[in-house]
Amino acid sequence: MLTPTEKIWHNGRFIDWDDAKIHVLAHVVNYGTSVFEGIRCYSTPAGPAIFRLREHIRRMIDSAKIYRMDLGYSLDELAEAMVELVRLNRMQACYLRPIALRGYGEIGVNPGKNPIEVYVACWEWGKYLGEEALAQGVDVCVSSWTRLAPNTLPTLAKSGANYMNSQLIKMEALANGYTEGIALDSGGYVSEGSGENIFVVRDGKILTPPLGASVLPGITRDSVLKLAAELGIPVVETLVPREMLYIADEVFFSGTAAEITPIRSIDKITIGKGRRGPVAEKLQQEFFAIIEGSKPDRYGWLTPVNVTVGVK
């Protein structure tokens, strides 16, 4: 259960957690009209720091643009709001959820006349796929649900409506005793998990589905690509046939909530040695060293919260 924090940012001011309410006839409730982000703030020796804040906000602005929504706030203004929110709520490690939605006004599909409301909430969010997941790996399945087909619901936009598809994938996986489901794209190639991008390792090379395979352009995905390149591990963005999953040496997920989570079995077929593999472990080490502040932030991925001026 979600533990409330004190304040939520709404259209430029801070309101009490319990006051962040919307009407049942708001456009978003009826038609799923929202775009949002999920961002982690980590506790570092220098205080809390938000991971890749600007990249997340940029993606939210992109999502809004695809849906013809004008957020009314610049990237800098939203960054400032989020840093201030974490500070105001006196949080250390937490998860931020900015969301822009079409509110109350007209009813009917056309969203044009409904006001755009922008909110940011934050709260403490622990391990997404279970406490053991990062070290032991998770057991997953290939979903019977297909990911959103091109030119239906755009997957480069992180919209609320896309998550109806994710919910089907997730609920089916859980109902069948798995931790997560991997969806294929409409061509039958590997796409992504209900809330994670996916990577496959075979013969020392990493493969990951391209953006055209109905995936969200993950910020953690991008971080993994950068870290792998730096570690000298070849990475190819290419269509991945389903059966490649089964014969891979390693498979792992990436995501803000899931971070870098190894997969130890798929459809009850053991992947590699059935535990976290060396590539996932190496990437985890580099990733956590940066976000925990034990290695220098050489990519400029962290925005410190305790600094009052110059939000980067």
Does 98 bind ligand PPE (CB under 6 A)? Our answer is: no
- The CA-based angle 130-134-136, given to 5 degrees, is 90
* Complex with ligand PPE: residue 195 or 262, whichever CB lies closer: 195
* Complex with ligand PPE: residue 107 or 164, whichever CB lies closer: 164
**CA 123/CA 261 separation, integer angstroms:** 22
Rounded to a whole number of angstroms, the minimum distance from the CB of residue 189 to ligand PPE is: 15
Q: Is 10 helix (H, G, I), strand (E, B) or coil?
A: strand
Does 111 bind ligand PPE (CB under 6 A)? Our answer is: no
Rounded to a whole number of angstroms, the minimum distance from the CB of residue 155 to ligand PPE is: 8
Question: In this structure, are residues 192 and 263 in contact, taking their beta carbons and an 8 Å threshold?
Answer: no
How many residues in the shown chain lie near ligand PPE by CB under 6 A? 16
Number of neighbouring beta carbons within 10 Å of residue 171 = 13
**CA 190/CA 274 separation, integer angstroms:** 20
Selected from 34, 256, 261, 265, the binder of ligand PPE by CB under 6 A is 256
Tokens read off for 207:
């493969």
Q: Is 158 a catalytic residue?
A: yes
Does 257 bind ligand PPE (CB under 6 A)? Our answer is: yes
What x/- string results for residues 198 through 237 when contact with ligand PPE is judged by CB under 6 A?
------------------x-xxxx----------------
* Complex with ligand PPE: residue 48 or 195, whichever CB lies closer: 195
Question: In this structure, are residues 143 and 169 in contact, taking their beta carbons and an 8 Å threshold?
Answer: yes
Number of neighbouring beta carbons within 10 Å of residue 41 = 26
Rounded to a whole number of angstroms, the minimum distance from the CB of residue 221 to ligand PPE is: 6
Question: In this structure, are residues 87 and 102 in contact, taking their beta carbons and an 8 Å threshold?
Answer: no
Question: In this structure, are residues 79 and 304 in contact, taking their beta carbons and an 8 Å threshold?
Answer: no
**CA 84/CA 307 separation, integer angstroms:** 10
Does 102 bind ligand PPE (CB under 6 A)? Our answer is: no
Rounded to a whole number of angstroms, the minimum distance from the CB of residue 71 to ligand PPE is: 18
Give the residue nearest to ligand PPE (CB).
38
Please give the distance of CA 72 from its chain centroid, rounded to a whole number: 23
Does 41 bind ligand PPE (CB under 6 A)? Our answer is: no
Q: Is 138 helix (H, G, I), strand (E, B) or coil?
A: strand
What x/- string results for residues 135 through 174 when contact with ligand PPE is judged by CB under 6 A?
-------------------------------x--------
Does 255 bind ligand PPE (CB under 6 A)? Our answer is: yes
Q: Which of 158, 170, 282, 312 is catalytic?
A: 158
> Residue 16: which H helix or E strand, with range?
strand 13-16
* Complex with ligand PPE: residue 9 or 287, whichever CB lies closer: 287
Backbone phi, psi, residue 243, to 5°: -70, -15
Q: How many CA atoms lie within 13 A of 40 on its CB side?
A: 19
Selected from 117, 139, 185, 196, the binder of ligand PPE by CB under 6 A is 196
Q: What are the residue numbers of the active site?
A: 158
Return residues touching ligand PPE (CB under 6 A): 38, 166, 192, 195-197, 216, 218-221, 254-258
